[in-house]
Structure 1
Amino acid sequence: MSGQPVPTTVEEVVRQRLSLAVGGWRGLLDSALPGVAFLVAWTTTQDLWTAVGASVAVMLVAVAVRVVRRETVQHALGGLFVLVVAALVASRTGRAGDVFLPGILLNAALAVVFAVSMVTRWPVVGFLVGAVVEEPTRWRRDPGVVALCQKLTALLLAGYVLRVAVQLPLYLADDVTGLAVAKLLLGWPLLVLGLVVASVVLLRGRTPLAPPAERVAG
């Protein structure tokens, strides 16, 4: 978090970490454009490899632009990796719909991880807080911090569950156009909506990073 103010509250930590995770508006754009390219190419040609090629080409341009501008390519390369894996899966099965299978499975796996973390009261978002303090699990000593992290983890979990609930039936029906549209709409628009809701939650509180006992002792 070099160049950014040192966070003093849990809300500030989570805001900074969420911003880094999505990569700002450029990260959102990098994640959205390949999906748009796939949808346009598929509806125009109904050819799997043309659509995949269009997505990869757009992603490569995004990587090249970031390299030229000396910006991080982390988010662009992550998207490229997912596209390559999806293309390999589809090439083995011959089904255009299988391009979306890795994404569906990833969302399902993340939903399970986030759900388990909430049930055990070790919400995933809590580890974002733990990453900036000397003791990674210190945040669990404060019930208020745990409650906040539970809410934010639930918000992210809802997004994963929604994606699987919408995309899995379309995949089983082999509706490639529907899958492309759903992936696009449930990608950056849903992420932006989630960030807006998270921001509202985060702006409502100022929870100190140190747990109550440590604040009194200090």
Structure 2
Amino acid sequence: MTDPQDEQPATSDLLGAALGGAARRAGLDPNQSTSTGHLVWHAIGGWRGILESVLPTLVFVVVWTITVDQATQKGDLWLAAGLSVGLAVVFTLVRLITRSSASAAVGGLIATAAAAALALWTGRAADNFVFGLITNGLYGSAMLISALVGWPLIGLAVGWLMNDGTRWRADRRKRRAFFWLTIAWAALFAARLAVELPLFLTEQVTALGTLKIAMGLPLFAPMVAVTWLAVRGLYPKPADGASEAGGAHDE
């Protein structure tokens, strides 16, 4: 007979599975015996992931900046957008040709192309960063709301990864840890939005693009490390003997 306290709402199960699955595909698996540095490096995709994440935005900003007309304060938007999208296309083709995982590159290409299309449609270079602002707003809001209502998204993801379901909610230590980790992620997205939104509204394209890069992976990587270390602390890996005994008991 199933204990009613162990029954989980369908929504939390689905959300936890989705978040946990995404984390595992990104290489964030707390069950893996690996160093913090290796895990973070894998999560950001190594050098290839860094280049795919940074270069399209960097190219857009650099080309726009060096082509700005001092009289009109306008750069060559078509050239900047075209080179940015072209670079994303190259990255995707390289992934496909080498038969490596192309999901991140394809996602990056779609995002880069959509941003470029919006900027070209409106004629405002700053609009190249609209989707990034929206993403930060949505992610930050989701993290904050989930923590405040007692179902922090980090907890749901980790619960799925660790086969813990939502039982962590009965453990005060885990509940508090996942609450503050989720709040920390919400703060990261909020900080990006707070810094970038004023620059977007005043169309300071060079500063906006530069800070987007500076507040991207350089802030994401430490947060991944802190989250992973916290999770490993909450779920210490059992000794082989204990693990086998536990597995036999569960059968």
Normalised to the residue count of structure 2, the TM-score between the two structures is 0.70
Residue type at the aligned position of 2:60: F
Residue 49 (structure 2) aligns with:
27
Residue type at the aligned position of 2:120: S
1:173 aligns with 2:195: no
Deviations 1:34-54 (A, max 9, x none): 121112211122211211112
1:207 aligns with 2:235: yes
Query: Structure 1 runs of 4+ off > 6 angstroms?
Result: 14-20
Residue 212 (structure 1) aligns with:
none
Residue 58 (structure 1) aligns with:
87
Counterpart-to-counterpart distance in 2, 1:186 and 1:18: 16
Residue 100 (structure 1) aligns with:
129
* Stretch moving more, 39-48 or 126-135: 126-135
Counterpart-to-counterpart distance in 2, 1:150 and 1:76: 32
Distance 1:16 1:207, change over 3 A: farther
Distance 1:83 1:170, change over 3 A: same
Matches within 5 A, 1:10-25: 22-25=44-47
The alpha carbon displacement at 1:187 in A equals 1.4
How many matched pairs? Answer: 208
Q: Say which of 51, 54, 59 aligns to 1:37.
A: 59
Distance 1:77 1:169, change over 3 A: same
Counterpart-to-counterpart distance in 2, 1:54 and 1:107: 25
Counterpart-to-counterpart distance in 1, 2:202 and 2:98: 43
Structure 1 stretches of 5 or more lacking a match? 210-214
The alpha carbon displacement at 1:105 in A equals 1.3
- Percent of pairs with identical residues: 35
The alpha carbon displacement at 1:208 in A equals 5.4
Aligned 8 A contact 1:8 1:208 in 2: no
Residue type at the aligned position of 2:114: V
The alpha carbon displacement at 1:176 in A equals 1.0
Counterpart-to-counterpart distance in 2, 1:123 and 1:166: 25
Counterpart-to-counterpart distance in 2, 1:201 and 1:40: 38
Deviations 1:70-124 (A, max 9, x none): 2111111111111122122223322111111111111111111110011012111
1:189 aligns with 2:189: no
Structure 2 stretches of 5 or more lacking a match? 1-23, 68-74, 238-245
Counterpart-to-counterpart distance in 1, 2:235 and 2:164: 17
Q: Say which of 156, 178, 186 aligns to 1:127.
A: 156
Let me know the Cα RMSD of the aligned residues. Answer: 3.3
Counterpart-to-counterpart distance in 2, 1:198 and 1:135: 17
Counterpart-to-counterpart distance in 1, 2:145 and 2:156: 14
Q: Which has the larger radius of gyration?
A: 2
